[in-house]
Amino acid sequence: MSKGAQKKLIQSKALRHPSSYVKALYNNKYKSLVFDETDCLMFKGQWRKSGFKSPASAKLDLEIGPGSGAFFAHLTANNPDRLFIAVELKYKPLIQSIRRIRNNDYLNARAIRYNARLLEDVFALEELNNVYIYFPDPWPKKRHHKHRLIKPDFVNKLYQLQRKSSFVEIKTDHQSYYMEMQSIFKGSPYCLSGYSYNLQKDAHLNENNFITPFEKIFIRKNLPIYYAKYIKTSS
Ligand SMILES: C[S@@+](CC[C@H](N)C(=O)[O-])C[C@H]1O[C@@H](n2cnc3c(N)ncnc32)[C@H](O)[C@@H]1O
């Protein structure tokens, strides 16, 4: 584990007053479906061989910040030939995500408790295929912008962790964070392959759009959803 990860990640097993969600992380019924910040590290470079039923050649996709896991469950249900990992920092959404997976008996998914800023601790170079980042926390106050996930360093690291021809897909309701993300990706090796300033009104892009729980809230408030898709075109 990098020094940064050691410093920034609370160790779940060391919590003196673990909540029911922290305890659930170690419940036998979720064994081999969800991993804490220490156990997930042993699969770096080996995720495809970590007990999935699919062949080691299967595509491995990542969702960052699944929240309660509605989209994560949708992905796993609709793509049984692909493998999925969700990385989530908070215990409640982590366990909610994995409950959906277990209740539906999906065999192609895992969830890990980790800080997505430190993905390079968990995944080897070019280990990942597609990455979904839906409604990353916008940290709207200027003094909190430093906590935003999408930063030049993060984007360049993510690029190295993905295989050629894979994509990153982003949705947000937050216009200024979206503009900042656009400019960060523009300065990176990724190629923009699609975007929208109002996804709901874009018939083509919206056709297969899955509306996440956060997205629902913003649509109800009549806010536009900003969307962008970036491709890794070369190694
Ligand atoms: C605004 S919610 C969006 C949830 C879901 N994607 C949706 O669209 O409904 C953001 C989620 O990202 C998680 N998150 C925020 N920062 C994270 C990080 N650095 N690493 C992993 N997860 C993170 C939060 O705990 C939360 O569940």
The finding on whether 134 has its CB within 6 A of some atom of ligand 1 is: yes
Does the pLDDT value for residue 2 go beyond 60? Answer: no
The finding on whether 200 has its CB within 6 A of some atom of ligand 1 is: no
Using an 8 Å Cβ cutoff, are 114 and 4 in contact? Answer: no
The finding on whether 218 has its CB within 6 A of some atom of ligand 1 is: no
3-state secondary structure the chain: CCHHHHHHCCCHHHCCCCCHHHHHHCCHHHCCCEECCCHHHHHCCCHHHCCCCCCCCCCEEEEECCCCCHHHHHHHHHCCCCEEEEEECCHHHHHHHHHHHHHCCCCCEEEEECCHHHHHHCCCCCCECCEEEECCCCCCCHHHHHHCCCCHHHHHHHHHHECCCCEEEEEECCHHHHHHHHHHHHCCCCEEEEEECCHHHCHHHHCCCCCCHHHHHHHHCCCCCEEEEEECCCC
CA of 115 to the centre of ligand 1 (A): 10
- Domain edges within the chain: 3-7+24-231
CA of 65 to the centre of ligand 1 (A): 3
Nearest to 177 by CA among 139, 223, 220: 139
Q: Which atom of ligand 1 is nearest to the CA of 213?
A: 9
pLDDT classification of 39: cutoffs 50, 70, 90: very high
> Best substitution site from 62, 88, 178 to test ligand 1's pocket, by max atoms within 8 Å of Cβ?
88
The finding on whether 169 has its CB within 6 A of some atom of ligand 1 is: no
CA of 93 to the centre of ligand 1 (A): 8
The finding on whether 138 has its CB within 6 A of some atom of ligand 1 is: no
Q: What is the pLDDT of residue 1?
A: 52
Q: Which CATH architecture has domain 3-7+24-231?
A: 3-Layer(aba) Sandwich (3.40)
Which residue has its alpha carbon closest to ligand 1 atom 11? Answer: 65
Using an 8 Å Cβ cutoff, are 219 and 200 in contact? Answer: yes
Query: Could you read off the pLDDT of 171-221 as tens digits, one per residue?
Result: 999 999 999 999 999 999 999 999 999 999 999 999 999 999 999 999 999
Report the chain's C-alpha Rg in angstroms: 17
User: Can you give the pTM of this predicted structure?
Assistant: 0.96
Active-site positions read: 137
Residue 177 is encoded by which pair of tokens? Answer: 């964070």
Euclidean distance between CA atoms 176 and 202, whole angstroms: 20
CA of 72 to the centre of ligand 1 (A): 12
Nearest to 47 by CA among 126, 102, 135, 105: 126
Main-chain dihedrals φ then ψ at residue 7, nearest 5 degrees: -70, -40
The finding on whether 89 has its CB within 6 A of some atom of ligand 1 is: yes
Q: What is the pLDDT of residue 3?
A: 52
Which residue has its alpha carbon closest to ligand 1 atom 25? Answer: 90
Query: Could you read off the pLDDT of 123-147 as tens digits, one per residue?
Result: 999 999 999 999 999 999 999 999 9
